[in-house]
A and B are shown apart, each in its own frame.
Chain A
Amino acid sequence: MKIMVCPLNGPRPVSEFAYGGEVRPSPDPDTCSDTQWSDYVFNRSGSPGEKYEWWCHIASGFWFVVLRDTLRDVVLGTFPAEAARQGLPPAAGASAAPPDVPHGPGVPDGAS
């Protein structure tokens, strides 16, 4: 089971958390067109990459924002919920190269 690091409660099993969907700023309901609004309400981007997501630590009722690379399922950072209102730094979108390390017993590939 995954471990999620809650900014309030520290590392906890992910089963203690509820996922609340991607953080998506709403268009201004008073000025946007019906089409823009419908797009906001109904359409989600399923493409993997770095995304801001709502997560809630259920037992403590604590909502926070997680920046997660959904391709690699790696949490890159957490933010207080207010940040969703005040504005979050732009996410990278498409997934970056994995930070995994090349592995070998000390000899270059093919040299053995």
Chain B
Amino acid sequence: MMYRLDSPAGEWIDVSAPLRFTFEGREYQGYSGDTISSALAAAGVPFMARSFKYHRPRGILSFADHDSNTLFQVDGMPNVRGDVTWLRDGMRVTAVNTFGGLRHDKARVLDRFAPLLPVGFYYKAFHSKRLFPRWERMFRALTGLGRVTLGAAREATPKRYGFCDVLVIGGGPSGLSAALAAAQAGAQVALADESPRFTGNGAPPTLLRAVQDSPRIALFPATVAAGYYADHWVALAEAGRMTKMRARAVVFATGVIEQPAVFRNNDLPGVMLASGAARLLARHGVAPGRRPVIVAANLEAYQACLDLHARGITPAAIVDLRAEPDNDAAVSACRALGVNLLTSSAPFEAIRGADGRVAGLTVARLEPSGQPDARSLRHLECDAILMSVGWAAAAQLLLQAGGTTRFSEELQQFVPSVLPAGIFAAGRLNGVYDTESRAVDGRRAGSQAAAHAGFGAPSAEAVARSLRCPSHRFPIIDHPRAKNFVDFDEDLQVKDLENAAQEGFDSSELLKRYSTVGMGPSQGKHSNMNALRILARYRGVGVEALGLTTARPMYHPVPMKLLAGRSFYPERRTPIDAQHAALGAVWMPAGNWRRPEYYHVSGESRSQSIEAEVHAVRNAVGLIDVGTLGKIEVHGPDAGQFLDRAYAGRYSDLKVGMTRYGLMLDESGVIIDDGVIARVQENLFYFTTTTGGSATVFRELQRWNALWGLDCALVNVTGHRAAFNFAGPSSREILQSLTDVDLRDEAFPYLAVREGSVAGSPARLLRVGFVGELGYEIHVAAGRGAEVWQALYAAGSRKGLRPFGVEAQRVLRLEKGHLIVGQDTDGLTDPYEANAQWAVAMKKPYFVGQRSLRILQARGPRQKLVGIEVAPGAPLPKECHLVIENGAIAGRVTSVTHSRALNKSIGLAMLSPDLAQAGRDIRIRGENGEMLAAKVAPAPFYDPKNLRQKAGSGA
């Protein structure tokens, strides 16, 4: 049977443009202006989907995209929203969540097992750790909605930032009036409405036109305001775009969401909300049924009856839950039409017909207690049941915005009570129901919002809330055989919620989490209110005592593509990056930077290349890019004093032209960073930080500087300067050929700093010993970096130079026993434990961490960083392997490597102090649990007297 009505076919339908599509393999026809759901309903296919849990037949419920019944797989795209997705010619539509098709879904058997699947079933049945992987596989196969097409083309969707004075959410009479009032006050207005077409939702056409013509109102039709974020930032999900709208004030005219009656089989295809039926009828010319029954508890039900009658559909009956319908012309008109009106009656059970559609309704007399009298049943034949029993405030966004609501007993609805600054509510959300009053309330809210944004004076126009109660206080009918669904997403019945409450989950928050009510894709739009009523009855309290749960943003499903950003991983590169690449660099990440781990040379393995790089530094010369180090200048008369306070060492007495190691502590005395501090001029210090710590160290230094108020200023020159370490026995000889700085030991001793030119570029040279050889750190302007690197490389390559990477540097420094902050130390390591007390000047009046060090010094170390040597022939342990003593953990390896120069495996380990004497045997638990022998050894391992880095001119 076709359900499309003859002319007029519907406001949105163009009968001259038929569209062909398939559903579950069968071909159907719709028209331009149909959505997927309306086309199926018109074609007489009420059975459109299977439910999530029990795989029960489902069809249209809200026809407003508020439920998740009408989700489809369309041309490979999962979970397409059938209520609002326009039909296109050639569309291939299938149901989601079926095994073997909609009709013959094998999982429909689950409906019979429903009694075995009580509320909280998952928590009760699947807590065994051993069996869990099995259950997980089973449920992953059983659950889920549409199927993701992994081969789908990547679709980039734009995101944009929007700005307005007043954002109005909702395009009904109150929203339109609010937008117009705000625009008339001079505000720039944005108006978002979720309906697929912007039609005013019952507002007078003149108002709609005025809004459409206003140059100050930007319209966002077919747009869901899906989430409210701080300071009036609202996510507007449009069809193919996300707009992040920043407003100065927001008017919520989000209206109300029609609520279902709860009775046995209230989920059958053909049972739908009266407002959904009205939309089908008016927009698409589709009869919700040829002989519907209306379940009523408000005046809207009678208006629906008249609307149907006007299109030639006479309802079989109106079943009113109330004893007395409203005293209203619409009720009299229905009586006059001779529609069978059953008062004090309740839908007891919907009967399923052969084709899956509802075929009848059993009606029970309601006793004064509100419960059905199961002895007084009568049967009505029908092909649709339209529910018009009440509404719930669409307050999700309002609650997200920090508004509070109270439950109005008179309206049986939550209404706004306290709203934060800049937030306004209007219309049915605000409890104002008739069209004229909604417009007045909208004007009031719009003018107040505009005034909040700085436009015009706020209106004091007042309007009373509805005098008629539009919602029934308990539209829930018990049935001994249940299947009276509260939550259609999660297939929750009345008894599930009662059982959950009985098991102790009897607050609205707990009930939600335990039973999953309101946690499906429709986020409780049709279930939260009824669930609260059931819980209130169970506990014998009013709904007010329970309160609404706040839906998290996004409160309505938003396609992932609107949320997904572009893949963007910022990476910093030093000025020498191209040179590294040309030399065969194998990259590794270091903080935000990429650095050469080593340079691949054809014919060499990774370890051979690293060994060769180490060998070059020890025997000739090596060149490493250390431009990733943080580089900071501090200028001013108090610069030395500032560093005295910020670092553990003393710098105010440092001679101009000299450097000193710097150890930075936090207030608890833990090592957080290190570097080299050079006094370039009396009032200018230049110092380095670790690569990873540069940004946070600089920020922390800025704070100290702001707090202490010393006469000095900091400049972060990390990105302005390139830096290399040019190290090895031949470094001085080669570098001298490129610089005007006198490199002789007497002129430029160990730990000195000099300024001059290198390869024609102004440079700062620091004589350092991190790798344990004669060496110079050369700092030049970033723009000169590549040129200077090339000059050093060219000059050195005739003398056996190899560029070396981070890995070779780690071997070299480990041979010297130098620690790396963050690798050999952790978030608890103090200088005494790291044997770095030589870098601490406790006699200074103050430095960060000093007071804690006094305590730690008195307490003594709880661990000690020591050198270790792995027994010859034993496999190499790894970093973080544990040191075991008497069956207990007594420490861990922090660094380990094989040293070719020493021909043994060496490392650093953090040990308990009683093991930390040189020569002590220790045992390390290796990769596979085997115990590896090692012994504590004095560091440095290589050149223990540091003669090589201090080498004079003759060395």
Contacts and interface: CB of A to CB of B under 8 A. Distances in A.
B408 A112 contact: yes
A62 B416 CA distance: 41
15 contacts: A2-B231, A38-B855, A42-B668, A56-B699, A63-B703, A73-B230, A85-B707, A85-B708, A85-B709, A101-B418, A105-B441, A105-B465, A106-B444, A106-B464, A112-B408
Given A106-B463, A112-B410, 9 more contacts: A1-B229, A1-B230, A18-B699, A41-B667, A61-B698, A63-B703, A99-B421, A109-B406, A109-B417
A41 B406 CA distance: 44
Contacts of A54: 703
A37 B859 CA distance: 15
B703 A56 contact: yes
Contacts of A41: 667-668, 852
Interface string A49-63: 000001010100101
B346 interface: no
B431 A105 contact: yes
Given A1-B230, A38-B855, A84-B707, A107 B417 contact: no
A82 B706 contact: yes
Contacts of A14: 230
Interface string B698-731: 1100110011110000001000000000000000
Most chain-A Cβ atoms within 10 A of its Cβ — which of B230, B698, B846? B230
B371 interface: no
A26 B464 CA distance: 57
Contacts of B702: 56, 61, 63
B7 to A, nearest CB: 42
Nearest to B859: A34
A31 to B, nearest CB: 11
B888 to A, nearest CB: 27
A40 B441 CA distance: 54
Contact of A37 (B431, B464, B708, B852): B852
A103 B419 contact: yes
B417 A102 contact: yes
Contacts of B98: none
Most chain-B Cβ atoms within 10 A of its Cβ — which of A18, A32, A54, A106? A106
B954 interface: no
Interface of A: 1-3, 14, 18, 20, 26, 29, 32, 34, 37-38, 40-42, 54, 56, 58, 61, 63, 73, 81-82, 84-85, 98-107, 109-112
B847 to A, nearest CB: 10
A86 to B, nearest CB: 9
Interface of B: 229-231, 233, 402-403, 406, 408, 410-411, 416-421, 424-425, 430-432, 441, 444, 460-467, 667-668, 698-699, 702-703, 706-709, 716, 846, 850-852, 855
Contact of A100 (B230, B231, B421): B421
Given A85-B709, A107-B465, A37 B851 contact: yes
A111 B852 CA distance: 64
Given A2-B230, A73-B230, A84-B707, A105 B464 contact: yes
B418 A112 contact: no
A86 B464 CA distance: 55
Q: Which 10 A-B pairs have the closest CB atoms?
A: A106-B462, A81-B706, A112-B465, A29-B851, A2-B230, A63-B706, A103-B419, A3-B231, A63-B703, A41-B668
Nearest to B421: A100
A32 to B, nearest CB: 8
B463 A105 contact: yes
Contacts of A42: 668
Contacts of B425: 103
A52 B922 CA distance: 50
A103 B230 contact: no
Contact of B855 (A37, A73, A81, A84): A37
A5 B518 CA distance: 38
A112 B467 contact: yes
A38 B852 CA distance: 8
Contact of B418 (A3, A26, A56, A103): A103
A112 B462 contact: no
Contact of B419 (A18, A26, A38, A101): A101
Most chain-B Cβ atoms within 10 A of its Cβ — which of A18, A29, A110? A29
B417 A58 contact: no
Contact of B231 (A1, A26, A102): A1
B667 to A, nearest CB: 5
A56 B852 CA distance: 26
Contacts of B703: 20, 54, 56, 63, 81
A3 B422 CA distance: 14
A109 to B, nearest CB: 7
Contact of A105 (B417, B432, B709): B432
Contacts of A61: 698-699, 702, 716
Nearest to A1: B233
Contacts of B411: 112
Contacts of A106: 444, 460-464
A54 B420 CA distance: 26
Nearest to A29: B851
Nearest to B445: A105
